[in-house]
Structure 1
Amino acid sequence: MAGSSSYSVLPGYQSELTMDNDDEQIGVAKTQGKYWGIFICWLLGNGCLFGFNGMLTIEDYYVYLFPKYHPTRIITLTYQPFVLATTAIFTYHEAKVNTRVRNLAGYMLFFLSSFGVIILDVLSSGSGGIAPFISVCIIAAAFGVADGHVQGGMTGDLSLMCPEFVQSFFAGIAASGAITAALRFFTKVAFENSRDGLRKGAMLFSSISCFFELLCVLLYTLLKCNLMMLNFSPIGQAEEDRVVERLSNKQLLHQNMDYALDMFLIYVLTLSIFPGFLAEDTGSHSLGSWYVLVLIASFNVSDLIGRYLPLIEQIKLTSRTGLLIAVITRFLLVPAFYFTAKYGDQGWMIMLTSLLGLSNGHLTVSVLTEAPKGYKGPEQNALGNLLVLFLLAGIFVGAVSDWLWLIGKGW
């Protein structure tokens, strides 16, 4: 037609252009989905320990209510057998378990346990005594069962996707400690001069914890739906791969025993010092009632920083031998803490506590992002569960070892 211009494109070429545009759009969507997934994994890592860290962070309230029962040590020790046993059961039956249902059940139990902390305090009217203390220990055990569902399940599930998700999840676990410490500072300041301020601050903190755990239930559902749509979460494929020949747990453990030993020793040391020794055996200093909170905050913040350090390739530990040497060398912190508590001032103790957290976070993420490489999807899932099992075994042994600091001091 005169006065008009038209351009014709060959059908095949037009199809290629359309395919290129579609591929580009899919690529952009996957990139955005990946960053969104990393952020949600971070939040879900928070939720994995937010509730229990909350119980530890309001330890000043529990020490006030139950001064004769060593609540910081007892609550931690009560928690550990349940998380260890639950994780061991799931690790053994990993190939038969629906990981998505396992994780969702765990986050729901986190919420119910956090809610239970508030209900218990209301029913007991903030009084001490053996009955409320036993109830607190039961709630700690419930947190342990929930953690046994989630930590190994999420590690195994995220190992099927990409290392960034695993790193972000464990950074979130560390962030839960830093965030709970910061919130505890806020609630302590807000109610410090009011009547019954310690209890009010603790309950406000517990309410925030409860709300966040409920949010995690919704976030986990959102994460799985989004990542499955973007093919980051090969759940369906993983279920099919379970019938394919794969290495047994025993074979995986044999090939990765050094990594498993790393995880065990890292947390034996950490839990033999934190939180019990820091809360009860470091003496009185000019910071007064704030001293223990500052130490806990120092550990949690430095632990969080340590979990991001492996993102810097130049300082990330990748050598299997180097990791094991670093883990063993870290036990020199035991005499360092002993002599600092006996002769040093609070500045040296804060520095040592920060070093404990920094090394804990850095070594944890270095092991968990290196170990699952080179395996099939189901094997990565199984290895993730095994490593978390050894991590939790280390926490249990460390929590028991923490009582050794009381030798010669009486009960």
Structure 2
Amino acid sequence: MGMNTGSEEAVTKKGRFAAIVVCWFLGNGSLISWNSMLTIVDYYAQVFPRYHPTRMLTLVYQPFAFITIAILTYHEAKLNTRMRNILGYTLFFISSFLVIILDLATSGKGGVGAFIGICLISAAFGVADANVQGGMVGDLAFMEPEFIQSFLAGLAASGALTSALRLITKAAFEHTNDGLRKGAMMFFAVSSFFELLCVLLYAYIFPKIPIVKYYRSKAASEGSKTVSADLAAAGIHLQNELEAEEDPKHHERLTIRQLLMQNLDYELGLYLIYVLTLSIFPGFLSEDTGNHALGSWYVLVLIAMYNVLDLIGRYTPMIKCLKIVSRKGLLIAILSRFLFIPAFYFTAKYGGQGWMILLTSLLGLTNGHLTVCVLTEAPKGYKGPEANALGNVLVMFLLGGLFSGVALDWLWLIGKGW
């Protein structure tokens, strides 16, 4: 790069805070549409009572997300990351807007046609998620760990935000005609706004931040082809520099298979974090927790507590003594979470609502904390192209865990009848 250490340090401080803030918003936009759909399931449960919408919509979403990320990860080195991320956020925006249009067109009456429409939108969310999460984590993996942490915190914040909005809309509209429907439509209006904001932030603001330009230029000089469109958008053309660096060692890089083998424990860890979380949240919490004093507020309080503690858990690794950096320690912590399964089973059967709220909070806290620990530790020590590829691989395992967890969630229905 021909840059001395002093000027390098100066560049890596310029725009750092702005990049962290933009990463947070981009993380928020990666999940706010899907979280909105999850958070208004009580509306869909009322409109489509025979179709198990809580479980069904998630089951549609996950395979589309997983298959898309698998294809994108395989072709990752040749992809234009800029187009991939803009496509993802645009698809989120259009799909969120379509939810409102579909509901207006059917007057919120339900029926099999409307349910198929909602399922198709859910599938589009899955495709958008795979584009954005893999693209963004790959892009940020060769930058600073704080950027990934902020992006992941934004993901969790979308859950906390939608939960807070849900509680507000329930309180505001509970005793009005069509109250649930009004709340649901408000959700997707907010969601559409956030997605449009993310399209603009990623397309026009993020590439021009000095620290982002620095890391992308560095990745390009290490042989990365995925950053060229973003650099061009920031007014940087690296053709001459890359020609000057035609040293063969710049083009040697680990294959996807080698990266897979070197990081098996991290990949398995992410997979297991999300297998466990999604086998309990949100399906089991929405349908299997019985009747309690909180009544119709109970499920919303559980989901809100999970989301808020998941958000807090994504900031706790910033406290050095709490962050787990040992690979073995991470795996032990991840495996110990499987004790949640008997804990939830017996609490649902015999425990009070206070115990269930506490357990759900712990599920969220550990989910957020361990996710950030894995995704900030794994890319360390890799060059730009390899860190990008590894980011995509890790998100593929994360989405694979989500998919498996959602499928396993149906096991809670055994013996309950349909």
Calculate the TM-score normalised by the size of structure 2. Answer: 0.90
CA distance in 1 between counterparts of 2:263 and 2:375 reads 11
CA distance in 1 between counterparts of 2:351 and 2:7 reads 62
Q: Which residue of structure 2 aligns with residue 233 of structure 1?
A: 216
CA distance in 2 between counterparts of 1:266 and 1:73 reads 19
CA distance in 1 between counterparts of 2:277 and 2:191 reads 24
Q: Which residue of structure 1 aligns with residue 46 of structure 2?
A: 64
CA distance in 2 between counterparts of 1:205 and 1:173 reads 16
Q: Secondary structure at the match of 1:403?
A: helix
Q: Which residue of structure 2 aligns with residue 77 of structure 1?
A: 59
Question: Is the CA contact 2:142–2:387 (under 8 Å) kept in the aligned structure 1?
Answer: yes
Identity over the aligned pairs, expressed in percent?
65
Residue type of the alignment partner of 1:269: L
Deviation at 1:157, TM superposition (A): 0.3
Residue of 106, 112, 126 corresponding to 2:88? 106
Alignment pair present for 1:394 and 2:401: yes
Q: Secondary structure at the match of 1:234?
A: helix
Question: Is the CA contact 2:313–2:367 (under 8 Å) kept in the aligned structure 1?
Answer: yes
Structure 1 residues 401 and 133: alpha-carbon distance in aligned structure 2, compared to 1, 3 A threshold: same
Structure 1 residues 206 and 229: alpha-carbon distance in aligned structure 2, compared to 1, 3 A threshold: closer
Residue type of the alignment partner of 2:153: A
Question: Is the CA contact 1:238–1:378 (under 8 Å) kept in the aligned structure 2?
Answer: no
Residue type of the alignment partner of 2:131: H
Q: Which residue of structure 2 aligns with residue 202 of structure 1?
A: 184
Matches within 5 A, 1:320-399: 320-399=327-406
Q: Which residue of structure 2 aligns with residue 17 of structure 1?
A: none
CA distance in 1 between counterparts of 2:221 and 2:123 reads 31
CA distance in 1 between counterparts of 2:14 and 2:297 reads 42
- The alignment of Structure 1 onto Structure 2 pairs a total of residues equal to 389
Residue type of the alignment partner of 1:33: G
Question: Is the CA contact 2:222–2:251 (under 8 Å) kept in the aligned structure 1?
Answer: no
Residue of 259, 271, 278 corresponding to 2:278? 271
Q: Which residue of structure 2 aligns with residue 403 of structure 1?
A: 410
CA distance in 2 between counterparts of 1:332 and 1:218 reads 43
Moved more, 192-201 or 293-302: 192-201
CA distance in 2 between counterparts of 1:348 and 1:241 reads 50
Q: Which residue of structure 1 aligns with residue 70 of structure 2?
A: 88
Q: Which residue of structure 1 aligns with residue 247 of structure 2?
A: none
Residue type of the alignment partner of 1:237: A
Q: For structure 1, which runs of at least 5 residues remain unmatched after alignment?
A: 1-21
Matches within 5 A, 1:12-161: 27=10, 31-161=13-143
Structure 1 residues 263 and 307: alpha-carbon distance in aligned structure 2, compared to 1, 3 A threshold: same
List per-residue Cα deviations over 1:46-103 (Å, max 9, x = no partner): 0000000000001110011011111000001100000001100110000110111101
Deviation at 1:238, TM superposition (A): 5.8
Structure number with greater Rg is 1
Deviation at 1:32, TM superposition (A): 4.8
Q: Which residue of structure 1 aligns with residue 206 of structure 2?
A: 223
Matches within 5 A, 1:283-302: 283-302=290-309
CA distance in 2 between counterparts of 1:224 and 1:73 reads 38
Q: Which residue of structure 1 aligns with residue 153 of structure 2?
A: 171
Question: Is the CA contact 2:30–2:133 (under 8 Å) kept in the aligned structure 1?
Answer: yes
Question: Is the CA contact 2:222–2:384 (under 8 Å) kept in the aligned structure 1?
Answer: no
Q: For structure 2, which runs of at least 5 residues remain unmatched after alignment?
A: 1-5, 226-249
